[in-house]
């Protein structure tokens, strides 16, 4: 199971410093900050706030300091969406309070992405390194994420179950990892940003004695090299 942690805290301020946007009587100024668990600002991170009341969306992308601002209607609840690789975290709710007059609302997010991430919807023909068409959606999303996170370097790690000779499994896993790398290149990702490596059956995450375990072990992972 892929896990990452997302926490948030909020502050309300009646004082507004010099800035391009200013709150109004009908819209609060929402100041968003995104950092990782080491308090490092996360640039180029898109966060979307969807109104529970009417479904309207308000979103922004963080700058080099991990910040952005937007105007948003107060006295509403908003679902918060934040994307990591190809997965969307959406279990946070922002409660914008009601207040007299114009005000500023600070919303700070700490997000810790996993260092290793399994691509659950990448599939190959049996015993081959040919990507199946249903893999395109998740790989396209990964490519788009890498275009936003321009400093991200990754490894594509291929894994198999223990059926067959270890040498054949290693070769198959390498070929599959390279197939994913080549696909990302066709979507505009520089070859130098993606390393492909096969591990065969040497790193199982489940019991190969069961069919379910074998299926979990046949996987394609993304590993963060640097960001």
Q: Which residue has the tokens 């942690």?
A: 5
Which numeric CATH code is attached to 5-112?
Answer: 2.60.130.10
Q: Which residue has the tokens 């960001």?
A: 227
Tokens of residue 117, six digits: 């991430």
**Rounded-to-integer distance, Cα 213 and Cα 152, Å:** 31
Rounded to 5 degrees, what angle do the CA atoms 140, 126, 181 make? 35
Residue-level pLDDT, tens digit, the chain, 227 residues = 444 444 554 444 444 444 478 999 999 999 999 998 889 898 888 899 999 999 999 999 999 999 999 999 999 999 999 887 777 777 789 999 988 889 999 999 988 778 898 999 999 988 999 999 999 999 999 999 899 888 899 999 999 999 999 999 999 999 999 999 999 999 999 999 999 999 999 999 999 999 999 999 999 999 999 97
Question: Could you tell me where the DSSP H helices lie in 109-165?
Answer: 136-148
Task: Name the CATH code of domain 116-226 (choices 3.40.50.2300, 3.20.190.10, 3.30.1330.60, 3.40.228.10).
Answer: 3.30.1330.60
User: By three-state DSSP, how is residue 78 classified?
Assistant: strand
Question: Could you tell me where the DSSP H helices lie in the chain?
Answer: 136-148, 166-186, 211-217
Domain boundaries, the chain: 5-112, 116-226
């Amino acid at each position: 199971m892929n896990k990452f942690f997302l926490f948030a805290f909020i502050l309300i301020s009646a004082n507004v410093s010099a800035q391009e946007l200013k709150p109004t009587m009908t819209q609060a100024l929402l100041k968003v900050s995104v950092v990782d668990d080491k308090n490092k600002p996360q640039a180029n991170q898109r966060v979307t706030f969807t109104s529970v009341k009417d479904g309207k969306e308000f979103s922004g992308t963080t700058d080099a300091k991990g910040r952005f601002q937007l105007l948003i209607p107060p006295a509403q609840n908003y679902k918060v969406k934040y994307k990591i690789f190809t997965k969307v975290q959406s279990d946070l709710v922002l409660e914008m309070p009601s207040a007299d007059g114009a005000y500023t609302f600070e919303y700070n997010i700490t997000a810790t992405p996993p260092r290793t991430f399994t691509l659950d919807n990448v599939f190959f023909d049996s015993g081959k390194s040919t990507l199946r068409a249903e893999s395109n959606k998740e790989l396209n999303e990964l490519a788009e994420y890498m275009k936003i996170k321009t400093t991200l370097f990754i490894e594509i790690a291929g894994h198999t179950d223990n059926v067959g000779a270890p040498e054949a499994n290693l070769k198959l896993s390498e070929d599959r990892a390279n197939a994913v790398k080549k696909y990302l290149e066709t979507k505009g990702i520089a070859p130098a940003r993606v390393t492909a490596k096969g591990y065969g059956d040497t790193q199982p995450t489940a019991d190969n004695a069961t069919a379910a375990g074998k299926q979990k072990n046949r996987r394609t992972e993304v590993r963060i090299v640097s960001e």
